[in-house]
Structure 1
Amino acid sequence: MGKQEQQANWIGRFRAFLPALVITLLCSLLGKELAGLPGLSLVGHLVLALLLGMLVQLVRAIKASARASGTGFIANKFLRAGIILLGFKLNLALLLHEGLKGLEAAVFMVTVMLVLNYALARLFKVDHTLAMLTACGCSICGAAAVMGVSAPLKAKADQSVLAVAIVAILGTLFTLVEVGLLPVLHFTNAQFGTMAGLSLHEIAHAVAAGGSAGQAGTDSAIIAKLSRVLLLAPVALIIGLIEMRRSAKAEGGKLSVPIPYFMGGFILASAVGSYLGLSADFLGTLVNLAYLLLGMAMAALGINVNFDVIAKSGARPFASAAICSCIMLALAYAVVSHFF
């Protein structure tokens, strides 16, 4: 194939890909704008982009064009790129400066709640993949965790969307609950922020709740929450190894489930952003790009979701996750009371 033919081929592929690119980009940008409005900040950019992608399904011609032109590619590749860039949000130097107590608490909370969320979901007869997605979303860092482990789990779009929806609803609800508890807990502002960071699902939820206790609450909530975010990479790696073993047993020895190597990029980005002295503006730009790409991936998921599947299977995982969210709040209260 000559150079001109190759160039024409690439141009043709890009034109075919353009509808999916434009539609998901618009959903992500609009989701970001909506997340800045009062009341919608708790919902967050990523969940709003997902909802907008789901609304695209109402226009059949646009839905068909987007699905045919590459939403699967965006949901897969853009997701990985976004998670890698999201590593620049994680300041390892700040976490280490604040000491290991917060990280130890985060490891304890994530370990206990991962096991409990998964076990209770299975007790409620939720399938393995959805139970694991929901457990990671509630225990680590919300939608980003769901998306981060969806690859090694080989999750379907419907399962990922349902897990994200559960995390978003419960996270918003428990943010309001914790803000309401602030006057009666008799915590210092820093203690309350730590509890919020250890117990709430999304970064936005932790910041919103911690912010009700002033700047000290905000700072403590961010540090505690980022300590949990740091655990996304090792958890995704462990899940990849577990799924590889499950797959090997099911397929007679074939190791066909990939380990999420892009999580290595997440940790590398964290290290680069923490120790190479990059400007705050540049790091902010990279994080904004991360959320833009993740928003596009979420919109692509929304465009491909099967509403019938969600309607049939949503009650049991929501119930189990709600119970575990109550336990998580109580456990975070106990940890902060005794160790902070």
Structure 2
Amino acid sequence: MLLVALVTCAASIIGSLMAGLPVFSLFGALIIALIIGMLVQIPMRAWFTHAAAKHAEGVGNAAALISNKLLRLGIILLGFKLNLDVLFATGVKTIAVAAIIVTLTIAVTYLIARKLGVDEHLAILTAGGTGICGAAAVMGLSGSITMPKDEEKRGRDDEVMAVATVAVMGTVFALAEIALRPFLGLSDAQFGTMGGASLHEIAHAVAVGGSAGDAGMDAAIIMKLSRVLMLAPTAMIIGAWWARRHPQPGDGPRKVPIPWFMLGFLVASVAGTYLPFVAQFTDILVKAAYLVLGMAMAALGMNVDFKAIASRGRMAVLASFLASILLAGGAFLAAKLLF
């Protein structure tokens, strides 16, 4: 456990440092930490398997525990990043547009994925990551879904596949939007709004908005944070929907798991916005959130099954790609007509 904690902490720190570099900034610290975890699992597992099979199993169990527990803590701490005053100051329009975009994107992505034969769990995680805020949304939604014990390993593979899918799609569409900017006929603020409304990771929205100057950057961040605001209610709704479709043995027909960490996310947002003595520590708490989430992502990467990704992930990528095209088109229309 201690070794895995040290390795994941190092991966998270390295991911944060690399995310500050020009090229890597488009991927974001969480995605880099996940990739490091995926790479480091190969020598670690080989080393421990050679020493003793039980040690190799211990590495997997420790990584799973760290990923599960730190995920929830990281999501709660991420709530301090969400300044409600900034969002509400932009009016109901931005939040209403974000709610519509998130709802339609999740529904459309899920339906496309299911039509392509993607299983329900991977489909809903991919849909959530595409519709809300990338890796953090995938992890948040995963935490609200209860999987049977014998399917937990497959569930973790689904998390990695969904995270990798939205990371690739976000990067591709960020570059495409920057390239298409001269032909779109949007003002700087409208272009930033489009980026915030259509791209998956916060890093993607910041990169696109920043290419249009300060006005574009501000608009992208406000719209993107409006989508992040949808994470908590979406996780609760999807958690309830999943529990009704997949009741666990011994559960009553009305029993629905409540993702308490999402309530913590909302409480952190309120505290960071309206309590002055908390607000002064917001930057530190947000940095701690990304450190903890980076560790969770690296731990998740250490347990990835590469064969499962190769065999089951291709249709999820296609579903996210098709949905992302529709999302970009809808975001363009919304920015052009409403902002």
Same fold (TM over 0.5): yes
Superposed displacement of residue 257, structure 1:
6.0
The alignment status of 1:94 with 2:86, answered yes or no, reads yes
Question: Which of 101, 115, 118 is the equivalent residue of 1:123?
Answer: 115
1:13 alignment partner in structure 2:
none
Structure 2 equivalent of residue 4 of structure 1: none
Match of 2:32 in 1: 48
TM-score for both structures, normalised by structure 2:
0.91
Cα deviations across residues 93-152 of structure 1 (Å, max 9, x unaligned)? 110111111101101101111110000000001000000000000000000000001122
2:281 partner SS: helix
CA distance in 1, matches of 2:234, 2:63: 27
What is the CA-CA distance between 1:77 and the residue it aligns to? 0.8
Deviates more, 1:187-196 or 1:256-265: 256-265
Deviations 1:264-297 (A, max 9, x none): 0000000011111247662111000000000000
What letter is aligned with 1:307? Answer: F
With over 3 angstroms needed to count, the CA separation of the structure-2 counterparts of 1:51 and 1:249, relative to structure 1, is: closer
Are the structure 2 counterparts of residues 35 and 249 from structure 1 closer, same or farther at C-alpha, using a change threshold of 3 Å?
A: closer
Pairwise CA RMSD of aligned residues? Answer: 1.8
Q: Deviations over 1:56-103 (max 9, x none)?
A: 122122683862562122111110000000000000011011111110
CA distance in 2, matches of 1:333, 1:202: 18
Using the alignment, how far apart are the partners of 1:240 and 1:69 within structure 2? Answer: 25
1:318 and 1:18 map into 2 onto residues whose CA distance is 35
Change (3 A) 1:75 1:276: same
CA contact 1:20–1:69 (8 Å) conserved in 2: no
By how many angstroms is 1:309 displaced? Answer: 0.3
In structure 1, C-alpha distance between the alignment counterparts of 2:250 and 2:61, rounded to whole Å: 32
Structure 1 pair 255–293 and aligned structure 2 pair: CA distance change class (3 A): farther
Structure 1 match to 2:99: 107
**In the TM superposition, what are the counterparts of 1:178-327 in structure 2 within 5 Å?**
178-248=177-247, 253=252, 258-278=257-277, 282-327=281-326
Q: Distance in 1 between matches of 2:130 and 2:62?
A: 30
Give 1:143's match in structure 2, choosing from 126, 135, 138: 135
C-alpha distance in 2, partners of 1:55/1:252? Answer: 39
Give the C-alpha shift of residue 302 in structure 1. 0.6
Q: Which amino acid aligns with 1:110?
A: V
Aligned 8 A contact 1:18 1:69 in 2: no
TM-score (norm 1): 0.91
Secondary structure of 1:141 counterpart: coil
SS of 2:144's partner is helix
The change in CA–CA distance for 1:251 and 1:280 in structure 2 (over 3 A counts) is closer
CA, structure 1 residues 199+72, in 2 after alignment: closer, same or farther (shift >3 Å)?
same
Separation of aligned partners in 2, 1:32 and 1:222: 19
One-letter identity of the residue aligned with 1:78: L
Q: Judge conservation of contact 1:237–1:259 (CA < 8 Å) in 2.
A: yes
Q: Go from structure 1 to structure 2 and tell me whether the alpha carbon gap of 1:239 and 1:204 turns closer, same or farther (over 3 Å shift).
A: same
1:61 matches 2:53: no
Paired residue type of 1:324: A
For structure 2, the residue ranges without an aligned partner over 5 or more in a row are: 50-55
Partner Cα distance (1:65, 1:34) in 2 = 30
Give aligned pairs, total: 324
Amino acid in structure 1 at the alignment position of 2:82: L
Query: 3-state SS of the aligned residue for 1:258?
Result: coil
Aligned equivalents of 1:56 and 1:320: distance in 2?
Answer: 29
In the alignment, what sits opposite 1:20? 4
Distance change >3 Å, CA 22–CA 66, structure 1 → 2:
farther
**Alpha carbons of 1:68 and 1:101: their partners in 2 closer, same or farther (altered >3 Å)?**
closer
- In the alignment, the residues of structure 2 paired with residue 231 and residue 270 of structure 1 have an alpha-carbon distance, to the nearest angstrom, of 12
Match of 1:172 in 2: 171
CA distance in 2, matches of 1:294, 1:252: 31
User: Partners of 1:201 and 1:127 in 2: how far apart?
Assistant: 21
AA of the residue aligned to 2:207: A
Asked whether the 8 Å contact 2:130–2:320 carries over to 1, the reply is yes
Give the SS at the match of 1:36: coil
Contact 1:247 1:256 in 2 (8 A): no
Amino acid at match of 1:57: Q
Q: Which residue of 1 aligns with 2:329?
A: 330
Percent identity, please: 49
CA distance in 2, matches of 1:258, 1:203: 28
Q: 1:33 to 1:65 in 2, by over 3 A?
A: farther
